Amino acid sequence: SELLALHVATLLLERVTDDSIEVCVSFMQEVGLAIQELSPAGSQAIFERFKHILHEGVIDKRVQYVIEGLFDVRRKKFADYPAVVPELDLVEEEDQITHEVDLLDETLKGEETLNIFKAQDPEQFAADEAKWKAIVDEILGLSGEEDGSGSSDDSEEEERDQQADQEAAEKILDFTEQDLVNLRRSIYLTIMSSVHFEECVHKILKLNIAEGQEKEVCTMLIDCCAMERMFNRFFALQAERLCRINPAYQERFEEAFNVQFATVHRLETNKLRNIGKFFSHLLMSDGMSWSILAQVRITEETTTSSSRIFIKVIFQELSEQWGIKKLVDRLHEPELQQYFGGLFPKDHIKNVRFAINYFTAIGLGVLTEELRQFMDKAPATKPGEEAMEEEESA
């Protein structure tokens, strides 16, 4: 019934948001021709509402172009959107049963549980499919007419199905990784062509990234951020939003941090600084777990000049954005202490002294108050013992 379609369109246009307008435009493209034929006045009212929305200008520029595209489709008389697709025109009009539904009817049961996927035993699935096929055959009038030729048709259909299954089982391995190259190109073009980080995340999610390929998105975001002359929060905001939407991205970014920290000596100073601020933003926004700092160990033997600069950039950025008090409070949270043992080592007086000197040199000496108290309480070592300890550590 055209009344139901008009009702849906009216509800979508009642509260104007970018999403509701886009959904309504897609809906009107599909049903616009049928509504125009069955209810010209209703169709005119819907398009007048679209005109008012365009004149008000309260929606995003991109959505305005979407509405203009709908008017262009209407101008072409819905040439690309037939009222009924010929392949779906299966039931004769006199055999059709139309159900009138009122969307505002409070007694209407939505059966929302049908939206929840439930695994089914293969035997039960086959039985349900057989029942459904019998219903379809009855509706289409195939049950009584084709009994004679049904067996031969079924055998041919089974042979075709078996052949299709065999073809599907033959997995083609692409050793050239051309699909991966194309995916990376699509991700890069999507990132660099977006104006706002939310728009970019929306486009990335529409790429239908396969499970296990989230790493490519993470790597591309980090590489794009590193190539900038100055740190651009645009990339970090995308990473934060992806981590909040899908936990898989959070895991991939944590793995990426481990890789970057292990190979930080290969980076130029500018790239090192940008990547450090990138991960600092993820820590600051809790887009990523602080457990990534568990592998960081501030000692003379386990750090290089590059890794020390990398950690310095992260903590200085946290201090600037949060303030030193909030940073100190975060580092003293009991549930996170297990991850900070390497940042503030207490296993050897030499490592304690090195960590204190390091954080003091980068202007964050207040973070080492506990280490200073620990060193004051530690038994004093003689110069000869210190020399022996240094030789042993060397």
Q: What is the pTM of this model?
A: 0.54
Side-chain-side CA neighbours of 299 within 13 Å: the count stands at 17
- Spans of the chain below 50 pLDDT: 382-394
pLDDT score recorded for residue 382: 44
Q: What is the dihedral angle through the alpha carbons of 131, 135, 137, 143, rounded to the nearest 10 degrees?
A: 80
Token readout for 18 is 């970018």
Half-sphere exposure of 66 (CA within 13 A, CB side): 18
Q: Are 153 and 146 in contact (CB under 8 A)?
A: yes
Query: What pLDDT was estimated at residue 262?
Result: 92
Q: What is the pLDDT of residue 388?
A: 45
Q: Which two tokens stand for residue 321?
A: 């954005």
Instruction: For residues 70 and 32, give the distance between their C-alpha atoms in angstroms, rounded to a whole number.
Output: 10
Main-chain dihedrals φ then ψ at residue 132, nearest 5 degrees: -65, -40
